[in-house]
Structure 1
Amino acid sequence: MTTPKPKTENVAAVMKVFSVLETLAESRTAGLADIAQRAMTSKSTTHRLLHTMIDLGYVEQNPETERYELSLRLFSLAAHSLNAHADLLRIADKVMNRISRATGESINLGVLDGQEQRVVYIHQYDSTYSLSMNSTLGKRNPLHSTSLGKALLAFRDDDEIEERLSAMKMEVSAPNTMTDKDAFREELKKTRARGYSEEIEESEIGVRCLAAPILNQAGRSIAAISVSFPLMRFDESKKDDYLNVLMTATHQASQAFGYLEDTSS
């Protein structure tokens, strides 16, 4: 009878697999030594993992260069995952199209990562301008430094907010990144009160963003939509117009998910 491996060994093995997959996702194509170094595993372990993934159809190796890359099978899995969010994508796409036509700027749809304190970009409209702030689908940015992250987290219950706050590292990525958790907590309160969030050079230098949540019937955020501007092209005199377009769109999307605004107060 085979003795089962300790749980910690199994977890470590799974982490190595995903480390290799994430390395390939970021690099697109890479050699064995580079993958092993970036995934922080030995060459022998990396080689074994890669060839197991090749056998399963998730990784391919170019016979001429001997470099590895992800196969379309993995993208197929991602597509199935997105299909599970088909209603969200369908409803969000309609209102994002309106925001795009009204502003000409980059429009992004983001959702909360289930494990890490990050927002995941799952749909977008590119800017019509040559100078634009386009993001990559699947990109994951910190919650604390993005308007999408603020809009998503502000409309969750207090317990979840505190749990996520306690796990945040508050790393700096731009000149105005917020690093104080108490200040960030206050920013979330402002976001919830006014219905939108914003950030000015908190995630990237030269970028300003506005975002608003898509809410479900319980008033809980299920996604958020942002408009990203190069700082030099943001017209402060038109801020109210930008917000009107954005918040009208997200309110319509929220209504499609059963959200009814409380007008009693």
Structure 2
Amino acid sequence: MSVKTALRVIEIIEVYAREKRPLSLSELARLLQAPVSSCLALIRTLSELGYLYEIGRRNGYYPTSRLLAMAQQIARNDPVLDRVYPSLLELREVTQETVVFAKLAQDMRVVYLQVLDSPHTIRYTATAGEFKPVHANSLGKALLSTLPAAQRQAVLRAAPLARFNERTLVEPDAVEDELARSRERGWFSNLGESIAEVGAIAWPVMLSGEAYAISIGAPVYRIEPNQQAYAKMLRAACIALEQG
């Protein structure tokens, strides 16, 4: 029951992030597909703790800035992100493209830990906390390359690999061949394999014995002609972080 309650609290935060407006009790219950009584108990608790406030009678509830303050305090003290953020920012400023920092989650999906958006109007967009499949993602390929061969094969053969389009590699041996070519040339890529016309290149970085990866993402027409130049920047940033 406690796990379900914790999940509901996260869902409430995500609903407000998506809706971007005050919500009445009945609206919140409908959006969460949850009983009104359960939502009422959660709203009362979150209000008592200072995370929600009532706009006015019948005008709904909205999060206070307490949630932002807590999130900022947490982010400021993340030992890994604090270490890598200057390098991510520099890559974003030099390339003017979206930069993502990620690692493998326990279920072997890629989880985005930090995203720095490109300033371009037409750009690759992502959100911290997103999960992506390893086989059709540049970060996933970079992270797969850090695993022992037996473990990598187990990950690739655990379940059928999803096909997103005709460019997606869905055979484990084909993915292995792609990883070998990528290691040799000096970057891991995804050119429209998961999202049409969107591409990225990535490289792994080892920090305190843990494998992470950094990617530069953009529309394919911008990323494809710059792969070699961006890869050189990525590798230099990763080496500096590992030695720092």
- Please say if residues 117 and 168 of structure 1, whose CA atoms lie closer than 8 Å, have aligned partners that are also in contact: no
What is the SS of the residue equivalent to 2:56? Answer: coil
- Please say if residues 102 and 245 of structure 1, whose CA atoms lie closer than 8 Å, have aligned partners that are also in contact: no
Query: 1:99 and 1:53, CA in 2 relative to 1: closer, same or farther beyond 3 A?
Result: same
**Aligned equivalent of 2:221:** 232
Matched, 1:92 2:79: no
Matched, 1:131 2:122: yes
The TM-score, its normalising length taken from structure 1, stands at 0.72
**Which amino acid in structure 1 is aligned with residue 43 of structure 2?**
L
**Which amino acid in structure 2 is aligned with residue 142 of structure 1?**
K
How far off its partner does 1:199 sit? 0.8
What is the SS of the residue equivalent to 1:120? Answer: strand
**Aligned equivalent of 1:247:** 235
**Matches of 2:42 and 2:148, distance apart in 1:** 41
**Matches of 1:42 and 1:165, distance apart in 2:** 40
For each residue in 1:200-243, what CA deviation from the matched residue of structure 2 results, as whole angstroms up to 9, or x when unmatched? 2234322110011221254x41x32211121122343x422221
Identity %: 23
- Please say if residues 200 and 223 of structure 2, whose CA atoms lie closer than 8 Å, have aligned partners that are also in contact: no
Query: 1:153 and 1:83, CA in 2 relative to 1: closer, same or farther beyond 3 A?
Result: farther
**Matches of 2:108 and 2:27, distance apart in 1:** 25
**Aligned equivalent of 2:46:** 53
How far off its partner does 1:127 sit? 2.5
**Which amino acid in structure 1 is aligned with residue 234 of structure 2?**
L
Q: How does 1:197-212 map to 2 (within 5 A)?
A: 197-212=188-203
Q: Which of 109, 133, 148 is the aligned partner of 1:143?
A: 133
Q: What is the total number of aligned residue pairs between the two structures?
A: 242
For each residue in 1:94-134, what CA deviation from the matched residue of structure 2 results, as whole angstroms up to 9, or x when unmatched? 3234423432222222344456834124241x334332224
How far off its partner does 1:167 sit? 7.5
- Please say if residues 168 and 194 of structure 2, whose CA atoms lie closer than 8 Å, have aligned partners that are also in contact: yes
Mean Cα deviation higher: 140-149 or 176-185: 176-185
**Matches of 1:217 and 1:147, distance apart in 2:** 22
Gaps of 5+ in 1: 1-8, 257-265
The TM-score, its normalising length taken from structure 2, stands at 0.77
Q: How does 1:22-41 map to 2 (within 5 A)?
A: 22-29=14-21, 30-41=23-34
Query: 1:164 and 1:57, CA in 2 relative to 1: closer, same or farther beyond 3 A?
Result: farther
**Matches of 1:16 and 1:227, distance apart in 2:** 34
Gaps of 5+ in 2: none
**Matches of 2:70 and 2:104, distance apart in 1:** 19
Query: 1:47 and 1:199, CA in 2 relative to 1: closer, same or farther beyond 3 A?
Result: same
